[in-house]
A and B are shown apart, each in its own frame.
Chain A
Amino acid sequence: QQPVQSPQAVILREGEDAVINCSSSKALYSVHWYRQKHGEAPVFLMILLKGGEQMRHEKISASFNEKKQQSSLYLTASQLSYSGTYFCGTAPDKAAGNKLTFGGGTRVLVKP
């Protein structure tokens, strides 16, 4: 079953912060985060594994709450280059390996 991302869209001013959530009805073992610019390929940001540490990519960080079956992506002091659609991809257990189910995406627009 597809993970649910929220919000569906967010508009920020440069320098503002935002949080994107990725929630699953199943247990989560790993969560991948990707960013896609319009008409381009998704680009890998980070992976979180069950029991692992919080990860960072530049000023973007993410956390993994096993009890809530949710991962959150934190955009801190947003830059214009952060605009794009963010997708989470999830795997429910070790056996799934890298076979991911992706959420519907969160569109982020950072304005000057």
Chain B
Amino acid sequence: DGGITQSPKYLFRKEGQNVTLSCEQNLNHDAMYWYRQDPGQGLRLIYYSQIVNDFQKGDIAEGYSVSREKKESFPLTVTSAQKNPTAFYLCASSFQGLGQPQHFGDGTRLSIL
């Protein structure tokens, strides 16, 4: 079955540590996105990529980095510069063009030890 896989489901970070969240899709989608969701709030865009080897900052990119070396993969690194990383992180993908729905993974919940 086609879909988006995020791993791990739960992740714990120590102070000063970088951690990487995995996102893989087999839907043949061109575009991929990373969102952050805080309790009781909406989704905020961290980074997005419309094509391999290219990505753009979203609204809250500070303290995060991404890469898009393969069409299927869009990993997100939460760096030590992100002082408040505790949140629910959602990865999504879609076809290019207007009016294309975004398909979401099941998310990774990141907490600070």
Contact = CB atoms under 8 A, between A and B. Distances in A.
Contacts of A82: none
Interface stretch (A11-19, A36-44, A63-71, A72-80): A36-44
B96 A2 contact: no
A97 B98 contact: yes
Nearest to B31: A98
Interface residues of A, number: 25
Interface string A12-28: 00000000000000000
A84 interface: no
Contact of A100 (B90, B102, B105): B102
Given A2-B42, A87-B43, A99-B48, A41 B102 contact: no
B107 A41 contact: yes
Contacts of A103: 42
Interface string B56-98: 0011000000000000000000000000000000100010111
A105 interface: yes
Contacts of A99: 45, 48, 58
B113 to A, nearest CB: 21
Interface of B: 31, 35, 40-45, 48, 50, 58-59, 90, 94, 96-107
